[in-house]
Amino acid sequence: MCGIVGYVGDKESAPILVSGLKKLEYRGYDSAGVAVVGNQVLNVVRSVGKLRNLESRVGAEPPRGTIGIGHTRWATHGRPSDENAHPHTYKGVAVVHNGIIENHLVLKEQLRARGHEFSSETDSEVFAHLIHEELERGADLVEAVRRAVAQIKGTYALAVIWERDPTRIVCTKESSPMVIGLGEGQNFVASDVPALLEHTRDIIFMEEGDLAVLSSGKAEIFNRAGEVVNRPIRKISWTPMMAEKGGHKHFMHKEIWEQPRAVADTIRGRVLLSEGDVYFEGWTLTADQVRALSKVTVLACGTSWHAGLVGRAMIEKLARIPVEVDLASEFRYRDPLVDATQLVVAVSQSGETLDTLAAVREAKARGALAMGICNVMGSALTREADLSVMTNAGPEIGVASTKAFTTQLAAFYLLAVKLGRLRGTLTMQQAQEHLTHLTGIPKLLEAVLRVEPQVKRVAREFMKSQDFLFLGRGAMFPVALEGALKLKEISYIHAEGYAGGEMKHGPIALIDERMPVVVIAPREPKEPYEKILGNIEEVRARGGRVIAIIDEGDQHVKTLADWTIEVPPACALLAPLVATVPLQMLAYHVADMRGTDVDQPRNLAKSVTVE
């Protein structure tokens, strides 16, 4: 998630912009920049890497001017570099953007045909060119921005300045957050509250489609229809730390709740519904190459390994390619049978996990083609893999992976459809059906977030338990593993995930009234559902207490389990994205009630860059 700060007032803007960007550092970024207008001249300073690099450049020659915009970039299109850093400019127009322009390639082609030349690999630069074109056609800055965004498919929080109109910032939003800060003789815009709290606590949260015009003495907001609107001014009482979490108590809680947007952003621009296909930027594999694949080997650790287990079910079902899922730390030491006929898929949120990187190097040394599914553009994995499919979850601050997991599953589903179409195991119509299911998932995630009060009640009932068992079958077996990992890593309660069919092969000896058993029991597919009901009865017969994650309206399981949490049903291969959310919440609330350090659990690191 990129960071945006804008200032217009009676003070030098550059120091205010840099200071505001520093308050947004927690969001994660790979480059930063500021654009300032002084004496009707636009000055831009940008720098890849940490803000201190930008600070030293700004400090050496501070761009002068009392109006400016700044940005911290989290790369989605185009690697981290000075040229790809925002603000992007074109002939006196400067823009900063947070979001994804789905149709940027088409727009770039059209603009190039009209003589435009681009200086970056980003989608965002398109805004500067479109706005300049409208200015050339006689529009003022406000109208030029309005006409430019009308050509955009995608999401944006956008702030614009123009050297020939040096008294106004024009900003507008669609799906990406944007707030306005009101001051005396000065006004601010930002992507998030923390950037503004040192200057003002009078904050306006812009709404979808709003466009605001800020000058030193005025902040005017127009709705999508162009009518002036009076949005409520909120007096923010948050501390700066609370503000970084958007009012959530912990980053993990914020990131659980960000999942609808994170999954939507991972899907965005990649579903070609009319063609029944998937678009991945930088995809290189031909149908012949995919048809020639003998196997796919997934390499990962921890939560990412659980995602790989679900991904196996997706790829084997839709693309009919054999998939092996291996712990990266094991793969690299077992003289693996890997060769040039294989595709290796390395899954890593951070892209820096040493075990995973070492396993990828081992596989590549044996001739395999390496693909990364990763959340951090520019990380080691994205540099070493032959091609990468990025999850667009935005920075994940909490050590316990949540939105990384669900976006990895969405990426796997897109990959499974893509491989299926290239291998001919999916017709266009079948792919259209699968992709329609996938595009419906963000709405189901919105819906499942509403189970939180029920989950809190379960957490309060079982927070003192010493052991937990999680059971699932089929694509829900990895979800059981993930639920157990979430609970153990942040609450420090011993928890194990098991395939339901394995109960009779040992774990059933553990069952007694002190052992809560979480059972994930979707009604589809039918066979595993009936078997998992048997598991519930086995547990109950031995005095165990059952918490069942069930499809909404499943009255039958309600007669069997002690506690039920109802989630919206989804097709079997996508149901894991939905069923995981109550398990994330259970782990979160048990840990919070036990008073552990939810975001930074003991002994753990966000990225394990050692063996």
Question: For residue 87, is the peptide bond before it cis, meaning its omega torsion is within 30 degrees of 0?
Answer: yes
Minimal distance, residue 386 CB to ligand AGP, in Å: 18
Among 356, 392, 407, 535, binds ligand AGP (CB under 6 A): 356
Of 166, 161, 47, the closest CA to residue 95 belongs to 161
- In terms of CB distance, is 516 or 601 closer to ligand AGP? 601
Residues 12-71 within binding reach of ligand AGP (CB under 6 A):
none
Structure tokens at 290: 């995919």
State yes or no: residue 327 binds ligand AGP (CB under 6 A). Answer: no
CA distance 44 to 36: 6
Q: Which listed residue (72, 172, 259, 350) binds ligand AGP by CB under 6 A?
A: 350
Enter the DSSP assignment of 587. H
The number of angstroms, rounded, from the C-alpha of 410 to the middle of its chain's C-alpha atoms is 11
Assess contact for 69 and 4: CB atoms under 8 A: yes
Per CB under 6 A, does 353 bind ligand AGP? yes
Measured from the Cβ of residue 177, the count of other Cβ atoms closer than 10 Å reads: 18
Q: Report the residue number, 162 or 331, with the smaller CB distance to ligand AGP.
A: 331
| Binding residue (CB under 6 A) for ligand AGP from 66, 349, 392, 406 | 349
CA geometry: angle 176, 105, 383, nearest 5 deg: 80
Active-site annotation holds for 606 = yes
**Minimum CB separation from ligand AGP for residue 329, in Å?**
10
Indicate the residue among 327 and 593 with the shorter CB distance to ligand AGP: 327
Q: Does 600 bind ligand AGP (CB under 6 A)?
A: no
Q: How many helices (H) and strands (E) does the chain have?
A: 21, 27
Footprint on residues 88-127 left by ligand AGP (CB under 6 A): none
Q: In angstroms, what is the minimal distance from the CB of 455 to ligand AGP? A: 18
In contact, 393 and 375? CB cutoff 8 Å: yes
Q: Does 401 bind ligand AGP (CB under 6 A)?
A: yes
The 10 Å Cβ neighbour count of residue 564 is: 20
Catalytic residue among 295, 364, 531, 606: 606
Could you write out the three-class secondary structure of 548-567?
EEEECCCHHHHCCCCEEEEE
Stretch that binds ligand AGP, among 114-122, 301-309, 468-476, 515-523 (CB under 6 A): 301-309
Do 374 and 387 touch, CB atoms closer than 8 A?
A: no
- For ligand AGP, the nearest residue by Cβ is 302
- Determine if the peptide bond prior to 525 is cis (ω within 30°): yes
What is the rounded distance in angstroms from the CA atom of residue 372 to the CA atom of residue 382?
6
Identity of the residue, 187 or 356, whose beta carbon is nearer to ligand AGP in the bound complex: 356
Are 385 and 354 in contact by the 8 Å Cβ rule? The answer is no
**Binding to ligand AGP, residues 202-261 (CB under 6 A):** none
If one asks whether residue 303 binds ligand AGP (CB under 6 A), the answer comes out as yes
Distance in angstroms between the alpha carbons of the first and the last residue of the chain: 30
Q: Which of 31, 348, 407, 580 binds ligand AGP (CB under 6 A)?
A: 348
- The residue within the footprint of ligand AGP, chosen from 321, 399, 515, 587 (CB under 6 A), is 399
Q: Note if 531 is an active site residue.
A: no
Q: What is the closest distance, in whole angstroms, from the C-beta atom of residue 356 to ligand AGP in the complex?
A: 5
The answer to whether residue 304 forms part of the interface with ligand AGP (CB under 6 A) is yes
* Positions marked active-site: 2, 606
Can you give the binding site for ligand AGP, defined by CB under 6 A?
301-304, 348-350, 353, 356, 399-401, 489, 607-608
